[in-house]
Amino acid sequence: MSELVWNAAYDSGVEEIDLQHRYFLALINRLSSELASCADANYRQRLLNELAKYAIFHFVSEENMMIKFAYPDADRHRMLHIELIDQLSSRMQAKTYAPLFVFLVDWFIQHTTTEDRLIGEFVRNHAATRELASDS
């Protein structure tokens, strides 16, 4: 897989989300290259666990932010996360990893540039409204 490079379009404008997305991207790049060249089945399994656990951590973190800011579309967004985790766990059973990473990269790009940007916009508007309220 060619390396996934950070693009300004992936920025949500919320530091916590963007930091996690940058790490997620780096993790995808590292694991895709390590898995392609690793002969140790036990270590490959551990790398896949690392990926799945980070995805779960990141989604819980994003979902907590949606709760904190009362994001109106949180339930639908959470369903998208659940679907991704389901997809990931079934694709992890495959014998070859390339399709898993093609899927993951497509999902990352599509999800960050659409769904997560909406959360970013909402949270930033919320913060701006609070600032205005505290100014008056």
**CA-to-CA distance for 99 and 35, rounded, in angstroms?**
12
Nearer to Fe ion, 13 or 98 (CB): 13
**CA-to-CA distance for 97 and 41, rounded, in angstroms?**
13
Packing angle of the helix pair 115-135, 15-37 (nearest 10 deg): 160
Nearer to Fe ion, 35 or 81 (CB): 81
CB count within 10 Å of CB 29 equals: 17
How many residues form the binding site for Fe ion (CB under 5 A)? 2
**CA-to-CA distance for 23 and 38, rounded, in angstroms?**
22
Task: Identify residues 108-127 at the interface with Fe ion (CB under 5 A).
Answer: 116
- Of 14-22, 54-62, 90-98, 125-133, the segment contacting Fe ion by CB under 5 A is 54-62
- Of 14-22, 49-57, 62-70, 102-110, the segment contacting Fe ion by CB under 5 A is 62-70
Residues forming the site for Fe ion (CB under 5 A): 62, 116
